Each structure stands twice: as structure tokens, then as C-alpha cells.
Structure 1
């Protein structure tokens, strides 16, 4: 029997001495670990009970085990598979292991002519994508002075007000941050 598991390791915070355990025996399991820390994944009960096992990240084979023997381990310089208990230990977790958007900060500044510059920044996100809405609709040319709705910084025209939302997403997660804005001249 061949088992193929898709498992996401999500990185939260920064801590070099934290070890977390995760049951990865369910397809699509999501495990969390600290940046720089260690995660111990329970991939199976015993490797001897599984004829062939592959752990994938999208289409890339991270770990390939057949009959208790590790055929390949893409991250062998910082990980170790224990066939007797079916655990896979990953040390020194990095953002390339998959990093979710953990928090979003919105900062707005009034400019000299009454325009408003708004910046959206994200923490911990690998390859973030940004989008903006005002009162639940995509920003229009009549509201936007410069920038576009797919960048992390925009400038709004004078007299624009309402509920401004910045959405930051990547392959792992999506986080929204909203702020109520009003005319800069008021």
C-alpha cells in the first residue's frame, strides 16, 4: 500500500529552542512550528507497516520511504526520519518550509494636498500578494491617486472615506486588516 500525504508546515513567530509535535497521518494536515525551531511530525505508526511512503510539497517529493529504508530526503541536512516510530524531525525551520501571513499592519498618512498614503505590511509572509477594497468594493480610478490594488502601498485622492481593507495572501494563508478612514482635511 502506498501512502501519499500533503502536509503544510506553517511557521509562527521566531524561537530557536521550541519543539512542537504534530500528527501528520491525515492527508492535508496542517502543522505549526516556530521559525528556527523544530517540528516532530508523526507520519505513520511504524515504517514497517507501510510498503511505500512519500511526503510531498505540491509535486516535490520531500521524503520517500520504502520498506523501512529512506530512498530520498530532500532536507536531510536538517531532518531525520525514525522508521521504528514513523516520526520525521525537521530542525531549524525556515520560511521556505511554508510561511503564513501572521499579522498585517496598516499605516496611513495625510499628504499636503489632502491625499492619504496608506501602506500595508505583513509579517512572516513568503511571497505575499496584496489587494485593497473600500466599503466592500475594489478601489476605482476616482478614489485612487497612485499605486494599484495589487501593491502594498496606495495613495487615495482627496475626500475619500470609508472602510478600507488590505488583504494579504500567499499559498498558505490569507489575512485581512481594516481601518476606517476619513477625509484628511477634517
Structure 2
């Protein structure tokens, strides 16, 4: 229900009913409704009279004024129903009241979809799209609003660049003046990207393994060097204590 008893901006869903409350009490009052410069209808006592182009079957099937609560019902609403309406009321005391209503008809948002692409550094570009008029987008991660630490947002909030190490339930919510909807997707790390945390752990493991290998090799070389002189002594002793041949004895 749109309160059209004063100057107002009202919104209606395309294909759905629109309720414009033009006045709260019709008893003893006269009411006229204008669309742009055209006279739509006049109400006096208990009778409503539609004029000219509005006094057709196609319009009367969709338009209805309810005197009990002073409400104009348009069902189903069409694009051509949008525009500026002027309300003129003559009260039982003779006092005149005028106000303007701006009616906008919007197609409801629906069919929300997320498209995801991954970069080499693990960042993910996520685009939210939907049908409907004038959609407005917002994002949340695990039930909380998406922050700058999680992603970079485009100017229209339709596309985000998700950080490489961010995971969780990502929700895109879409709304306009007549409807709202959302979709949720579980975001994992990109298969083609590597998390900075993983890289740090991987490098640490390489450094530790390299240190162990270098230390082991150093101990091996030191132990081998410490045993080499004993072998040389044994060989020397063996060579000096060998038995002399008969030829060497005769020469003496």
C-alpha cells in the first residue's frame, strides 16, 4: 500500500497489483484523479466515473477505485501506468486539497547468478547478475558484510575481486524498490592458484630440509676425515715391516 494522501513517490511491481491510497475517508468528499493532463476519473458520493481513454474495457478490467478506504487498485500493473498523478479533493467543508504522486513501475529482480573466474595469483573475480529493473547489489561472507580485507568492490558493487586466501559462504543480495532476492555459493581456493599461507609453509619446509641435508653432509665429511690418518699409519707400518727377498740378502 502506497500512501498517496500527500505528495509521494510510489513504486509498483510490473505484473503485480499496485495500491494507491488517495484518501482515507471519502464520506462527503469529492475526488478527481488526473494522469499527466488527462482526467482519469471522478468520485462523488458513492459513484466513480472514468473518462475518455480510461473508460475502456482494457483499463476498467485493471483499474478499480474502492470508496470504503479511498484506494485505487491497478492490477496487473503495466509499464504505461507509470507517470505523474494529480489528486484533487474537495472536502465537505468546501476546502480543496491537492497533491502529486509519482508512480514508477519496476520489473522485480530474479534469476540471480554468480560467475567466477580465477587468476594465476589465486584471486577470484566474482560477478553477480540478475534480471529486473534498477538492481542494487550487496555482498556478505559467512553472514557478515564483505569488507575491504576480503575483496575489492567495483563502483556498482556488481563485481568483486576476492582475495586469494578468502573462503566461505559468499552471498550476493539483489534488490530494487519492489522486490529482493539472493544467491549463495561456497568459495574455495582456486585450483590454479596457490595460497600465500601455503607458499610460506612450503618455503619453510624447504629451508628446514636444506639445513638438515647440509648439516648431515658436514658431519659425514668430518667423520671421514678423522679416520683417514689411522689408515695411513697402518699402511706405512705394513710397508716397512715386510720380509726381504733372497736377492736383497745376497747383495748384502
Report the TM-score, using the length of structure 2 for normalisation.
Answer: 0.43
Instruction: Name the residue aligned to 2:217.
Output: none
Distance 1:172 1:55, change over 3 A: farther
Q: Does 1:144 align with 2:144?
A: no
* Post-superposition offset of 1:11: 3.1
Q: Which runs of 5+ in 2 are unaligned?
A: 22-28, 66-71, 81-103, 195-252
**What SS does the aligned partner of 1:80 have?**
helix
- Residue 65, structure 1, aligned to residue 41, structure 2: yes
Offset of residue 139 of structure 1: 1.5
Report the Cα offset of residue 141 of structure 1: 1.9
- Whose helix fraction is larger, Structure 1's or Structure 2's? 2
Greater RCO between the two (CA within 8 Å, min separation 6)?
A: 1
Matched residue, 1:126: 133
Is 1:168 matched with 2:174? yes
Query: How many residue pairs get matched?
Result: 143
1:145 CA displacement: 3.8
User: Which ranges in structure 1 are unaligned for 5 or more consecutive residues?
Assistant: 13-19, 30-49
Alignment of 1:10 with 2:18, yes or no, is: no
Deviation at 1:136, TM superposition (A): 1.1
Which structure has the larger Rg over C-alpha atoms?
2
Cα separation, partners in 2 of 1:174 and 1:92, compared to 1, 3 Å: closer
Q: Residues 83-110 of structure 1: CA distance to partner in whole angstroms, max 9, x if unpaired?
A: xx86988899349632110221111111
Equivalent residue in structure 2 for 1:113, among 89, 103, 121: 121
More strand by share: 1
Q: CA RMSD in A?
A: 4.3
